Amino acid sequence: MPENVLTLSGISHSYRRRPVLAGLDLDVGPGITALLGVNGAGKSTLFRIAAGALRPDQGEVRISGSAINSRRERGRALRHLALMPQSSSFPGNLTAREIVRYVAWMRGAKSRDCRDLAEAALHRVGLAEEADTPFRRLSGGMRRRVALAQAVSTSPDLLLLDEPCTGLDPAQRHTMVDLVRGLGGAVVLSSHVMEDVRDLADRVIVLHDRLIRFDGSVADLEARAPRGSSRAAEAGFLGVIQTGSS
Ligand SMILES: Nc1ncnc2c1ncn2[C@@H]1O[C@H](COP(=O)(O)OP(=O)(O)OP(=O)(O)O)[C@@H](O)[C@H]1O
């Protein structure tokens, strides 16, 4: 596996001529990287571009060394990554097992392997006993775990987790944090909850005003806080977005 699992070079994207990303560069290697940004900063847009679900207006995305803009390499590159979207709208009548199996197949796993991959992924997220429950009958926390199971089923080099803990109660959040911590490989997660970031992140990046404005550790972010701040990471984050530079 190359050191940089994800490389974004010169990424720009606008919606109806409103720029959201403008010439953004980012390298991601193994470990857990937390992506922070205020509502509307462009985190989901960045995830969708990195996952090949949205083509940027400009720039190049490379996954494990392969460019996903190039049609020839695209299919191969996309097998190296998985996205856990912010909200999962899987068909309610499909069971957890059917969903994970289908997504594994979609991501290029051999048909004969998909059943075992789904079994292992559901076991990993603690949903083995709910494998035959239709998605619509699962709780919110269980649905998030199905979304995580589909993402990990094919053991991708890169996992993009868009707000994995949103909407979870404290017990479910605890379970999710433990699961994410145990994933290994390269993980990029977005979160609004600083506690998640403190508990999980090896590296923190802040997206603000179309670019990455901070790149460092949680301790580096806390060091940006005014002396004596009680919630240093939050204060550091606010300092970054107020000054707008790294
Ligand atoms: N399909 C779209 N069409 C038009 N505008 C969009 C579209 N998707 C996102 N936007 C706009 O682009 C900006 C960035 O949105 P995005 O969802 O990427 O931000 P975010 O950082 O993930 O926000 P949040 O933290 O609220 O989830 C927002 O102003 C949003 O309204």
pLDDT tens-digit readout, 99-112:
999 999 988 899 99
What 3-state DSSP class applies to 27? strand
Alpha-carbon gap, residue 158 to 62, rounded angstroms? 11
Q: Whose CA is nearest to atom 31 of ligand 1?
A: 40
C-alpha torsion angle, residues 47, 213, 57, 10 (rounded to 10): -110
**Residue pair 180/161 in contact by the 8 Å Cβ criterion:** yes
Phi, psi of 237 (to 5 degrees): -60, -45
Q: Whose CA is nearest to atom 13 of ligand 1?
A: 40
Q: Which residues are 26's β-sheet partners?
A: 8
Pocket of ligand 1 contains residue 37 by CB under 6 Å: yes
CA of 39 to the centre of ligand 1 (A): 8
Domain 1-80+158-168+184-246 sits in CATH 3.30.450.20: no
Alpha-carbon gap, residue 41 to 59, rounded angstroms? 18
Residues 6+ apart with CB under 8 A from 240: 206, 208, 213, 214, 221, 224, 246
CA of 163 to the centre of ligand 1 (A): 14
ipTM over 0.90: yes
Statement: residue 3 has pLDDT above 80 = no
Statement: residue 42 has pLDDT above 70 = yes
CA of 104 to the centre of ligand 1 (A): 28
| Minimum-distance ligand 1 atom for the alpha carbon of 207 | 21
Where do you find CATH 3.40.50.300 in the chain? 1-80+158-168+184-246
Pocket of ligand 1 contains residue 85 by CB under 6 Å: no
- State the angle between helix axes of 111-124 and 140-152 in degrees (0 to 180), rounded to the nearest 10: 130
| Minimum-distance ligand 1 atom for the alpha carbon of 42 | 18
**Residue pair 207/41 in contact by the 8 Å Cβ criterion:** yes
Percent of the chain at pLDDT exceeding 90: 63
Pocket of ligand 1 contains residue 43 by CB under 6 Å: yes
Pocket of ligand 1 contains residue 40 by CB under 6 Å: yes
Instruction: Give residue 52's pLDDT.
Output: 87
Alpha-carbon gap, residue 154 to 174, rounded angstroms? 24
Percent of the chain at pLDDT exceeding 70: 97
Q: Which residues are 187's β-sheet partners?
A: 32, 159
Alpha-carbon gap, residue 47 to 208, rounded angstroms? 15
What is the average pLDDT value for the chain, to the nearest integer?
Answer: 90
Instruction: Give residue 1's pLDDT.
Output: 46
